[in-house]
């Protein structure tokens, strides 16, 4: 009997992306025909667990030579290539595993993750769905599909898969963020806010959740809530010129008729300007901001003159 084990391998992809590579676990010799293959496989697994991947690869290849239909050896060999960023060889091994066993969810899921890395998104989607067809409770694949749909900006599909995933896994901040982002783009704001707040509860220093929350509140013209969200966003990521820009807009909109707040409005715009000048992507915003700050300073002078005239 074969036992399966999952190893987690995490890679950073836009917002932060999570990949799982299924690793077949040790097997016991069950028949004389495959005994040598299984011995090689178990030796390879031990070497792999010791971090000796190159030696492990040689053992897996020998296992395959002894038994060309040894699915688990192809899976483990593919996982080593995947972790070495050799996606072509990883694809070859995972695909071979699916050809031998068309009902193996690990093989299809790993093939999908490899296609995703290769930007073969249609093939990745098909592989993920094949994994779910083979094992309906393979919840991690819903997240994999979600990451794919996020890349494609397919908001309905992203929302559907993240809902399914978070029904089962309720301690993953990234999935709640992706769910909130999808619902925000579908203009389902109350549910989006709930998901984003859950993401923040799980990871209080996750910038994207605060930023997306701020966008929702701006869309709803809830400037105080938007201001509070962007204030947290710039605390988490002080270098984000976009967060500083939105913070300044929210605060100015909130206090546009309050002469006592003019200094803080100017301060927020100056802070944005400082970050904008350090980021080439913000260069088109600089002239307009400088002009706006000049206008605000003139408005401040007007307020001061008006105040002085009353005495």
**Cα Rg for the chain, rounded, in angstroms?**
27
Q: Is 122 exposed, middle or buried (0-12, 13-18, 19+ CB in 10 A)?
A: exposed
**18: β partners:** 10
Degrees (nearest 5) of the Cα angle 240, 246, 250? 145
So what's the pLDDT on residue 172? Answer: 97
Q: Mean of the pLDDT values across residues 234-238?
A: 97
Q: Mean of the pLDDT values across residues 267-287?
A: 96
Give me the half-sphere count of Cα atoms (radius 13 Å) on the Cβ side of residue 95. Answer: 11
So what's the pLDDT on residue 22? Answer: 54
Q: Mean of the pLDDT values across residues 123-150?
A: 95
Residue-level length of the chain: 311
Q: Mean of the pLDDT values across residues 266-271?
A: 97
So what's the pLDDT on residue 311? Answer: 63
Q: Mean of the pLDDT values across residues 245-269?
A: 95
Closest CA to 53 of 2, 97, 61: 61
**Tokens 């249609």 identify what position?**
122
Enter the tokens of residue 21: 């590579």
**6: β partners:** 22
Q: Which CATH superfamily does the domain covering 1-138 fall into?
A: Tetratricopeptide repeat domain (1.25.40.10)
pLDDT at 16 over 70: no
Closest CA to 105 of 139, 80, 81, 77: 139
Closest CA to 58 of 46, 42, 40: 40
Please say whether the beta carbons of 158 and 181 come within 8 A. yes
- Tens of pLDDT, residue by residue over 172-190, are 999 999 999 999 999 999 9
Measured distance CA(75)–CA(265) in Å, rounded: 58
pTM of the model: 0.84
Q: Mean of the pLDDT values across residues 44-49?
A: 93
- Tens of pLDDT, residue by residue over 76-105, are 999 999 999 999 999 999 999 999 999 999
pLDDT at 6 over 90: no
Measured distance CA(37)–CA(22) in Å, rounded: 20
So what's the pLDDT on residue 272? Answer: 97
Task: With cut-offs at 50, 70 and 90, classify the pLDDT of residue 227.
Answer: very high
Name the percent of the chain lying above pLDDT 90.
Answer: 84
So what's the pLDDT on residue 136? Answer: 85
Q: Is 250 exposed, middle or buried (0-12, 13-18, 19+ CB in 10 A)?
A: buried
């Amino acid at each position: 009997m074969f036992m399966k084990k999952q190893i987690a391998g995490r890679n950073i992809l836009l917002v932060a992306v999570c990949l799982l590579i299924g690793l077949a676990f040790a097997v016991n010799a069950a028949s004389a025909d495959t005994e040598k293959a299984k011995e090689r496989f178990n030796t390879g697994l031990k070497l792999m667990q010791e971090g000796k991947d190159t030696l492990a690869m040689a053992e897996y290849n020998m296992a395959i030579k002894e038994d060309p239909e040894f699915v688990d050896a192809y899976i483990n060999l593919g996982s080593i290539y995947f972790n070495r960023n050799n996606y072509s060889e990883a694809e070859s091994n995972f695909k071979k595993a699916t050809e031998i066993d068309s009902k193996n969810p690990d093989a299809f899921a790993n093939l999908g993750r490899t296609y995703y890395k290769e930007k073969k998104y249609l093939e990745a989607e098909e592989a993920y769905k094949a994994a779910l067809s083979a094992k309906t409770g393979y919840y991690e694949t819903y997240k994999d599909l979600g990451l794919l749909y996020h890349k494609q900006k397919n908001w309905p599909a992203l929302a559907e898969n993240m809902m399914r995933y978070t029904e089962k896994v309720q301690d993953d901040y990234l999935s709640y963020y992706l769910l909130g982002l999808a619902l925000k783009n579908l203009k389902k704001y109350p549910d989006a806010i709930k998901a984003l707040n859950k993401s923040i509860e799980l990871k209080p220093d996750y910038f994207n959740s605060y930023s997306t929350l701020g966008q929702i509140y701006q869309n709803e013209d809830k400037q105080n809530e938007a201001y509070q969200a962007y204030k947290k966003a710039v605390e988490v990521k002080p270098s984000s010129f976009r967060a500083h820009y939105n913070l300044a807009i929210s605060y100015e909109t909130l206090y546009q008729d309050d002469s006592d707040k003019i200094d803080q409005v100017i301060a927020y715009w100056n802070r944005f300007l400082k970050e904008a000048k350090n980021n080439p992507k913000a260069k088109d915003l600089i002239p307009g901001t400088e002009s706006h700050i000049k206008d605000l300073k003139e408005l401040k002078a007007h307020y001061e003159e008006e105040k002085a005239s009353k005495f």
